[in-house]
Amino acid sequence: MITKLVERFRSRVLLAAQPTGTAAQAYLSPTPGVMGQTYRAIVTKGNAADLTLTLRFADNATGTNAVDYPVNVPIYINGVRQTDGKAATVSGATGSSVVDFCIDPATIPQGKFVGLSYAASNAATLLAAELVEDVAYRPAAS
């Protein structure tokens, strides 16, 4: 029986806290056999410039041959469901937001790394991102 949060979910840092004045991207190799994955961004706005986050996949952790994710996924901003898609925009001049991209691991192209990218926004806006994996399901070895 799973009794502790850390036994059910594994989290890894995708992007360390950073200003968004310069475009960036980061990718992680998904863990095989997990039940679900959430790419979570925590945004603290310090300027009115929009910040658009895009879910993407690439050949490796450095983002080689990166392209938008192949299917639309459920997106939540501050716990409110948005239209399914591959990108989410955080607006407003101030405040903090949590943006979640929830993916079904079955939709990850074989051998690819998944992550987030963003275009330059404003150095006064900060972003950190993590991958949260539901590891409760572990298939038997075949």
Check if the beta carbon of residue 84 is closer than 8 Å to that of residue 103.
Answer: no
Is residue 125 within 8 A of residue 18, CB to CB? The reply is no
- At 15-29, the pLDDT tens digits run 999 999 999 999 999
Cβ atoms of residues 107 and 27 within 8 Å: no
In 3D space, the residue among 3, 44, 1, 53 whose CA is nearest the CA of residue 24 turns out to be: 53
Helix (H, G, I), strand (E, B) or coil at 8: helix
pTM score: 0.90
Domains, in order of start, for the chain: 9-134 (2.60.120)
Over the stretch 51-82, which tens digit does the pLDDT of each residue have?
999 999 999 999 999 999 999 999 999 999 99
